[in-house]
Homo-oligomer: A and B are copies of this chain.
Amino acid sequence: MTRVLVLNGPNLGTLGHRQPEIYGSKTLDEINEWLGRVADSWGWELSPFQSNHEGGLVDFLEQHGPVCNGVLINPGALTHYGLSLRDALAALTVPVVEVHLSNIHAREEFRRRSVTAEVARGVVTGFGWQSYLLGLEALRGLIGGS
């Protein structure tokens, strides 16, 4: 069975409440539920995980990375400086897809550089919670599905 990790970095646990004019009004639970339904229909299993700790994300990848088929990740602000997370992603042999709610190319200068995207297969950015759905579909193209 295809198993995919769905990781969310710092501050994404408050989605729906935090600055909805930028990040939208859907909560992370709602997004995960939605992704789960889509995954179900493909016969995939999703393992969602959120942490405000870079180390927590690395711990999780260390444990689950070797027994999954792909990773969907929104690293939050770690996108721009989380080199430890980057190294953890680079160590995986399965495809990684990075997603962002807002268009990182059109915000503050510091958000334009993604240190994690350099080790991902591809990036989807700017489509709100739909970025996750598109990212999941992208993963299906990379992994192959049922």
A→B interface (CB under 8 Å): 9-11, 13-14, 17-19, 51-56, 58-59, 62, 66, 76-78, 80-81, 83-84, 86-88, 90-91, 103, 105-106, 110, 112-115, 117-128, 130-131, 133-134, 137-138, 141-142
A103 to chain B: closest residue by CB? B122
Asked whether, in the complex, the Cβ of A122 is within 8 Å of the Cβ of B122, the reply is no
Residues of B near A114 (CB, < 8 A) are 105
Complexed CA–CA distance, A126 and B14 (Å): 28
Question: Which residue in B55, B77, B119, B127 is a CB contact (below 8 Å) of A10?
Answer: B55
Asked whether, in the complex, the Cβ of A122 is within 8 Å of the Cβ of B117, the reply is no
Max chain B CB contacts within 10 Å: which of A9, A83, A91?
A: A83
Question: Which residue in B86, B133, B138 is a CB contact (below 8 Å) of A127?
Answer: B138
Residues of B near A51 (CB, < 8 A) are 55
Residues of B near A86 (CB, < 8 A) are 77
Asked whether, in the complex, the Cβ of B138 is within 8 Å of the Cβ of A134, the reply is yes
Residues of B near A10 (CB, < 8 A) are 54-55, 58, 84, 87-88
Asked whether, in the complex, the Cβ of B112 is within 8 Å of the Cβ of A113, the reply is yes
Complexed CA–CA distance, A35 and B55 (Å): 25
Max chain B CB contacts within 10 Å: which of A66, A78, A118, A134?
A: A134
Q: A53-B53, A91-B19 are in contact. Are A125 and B123 (CB under 8 A)?
A: yes
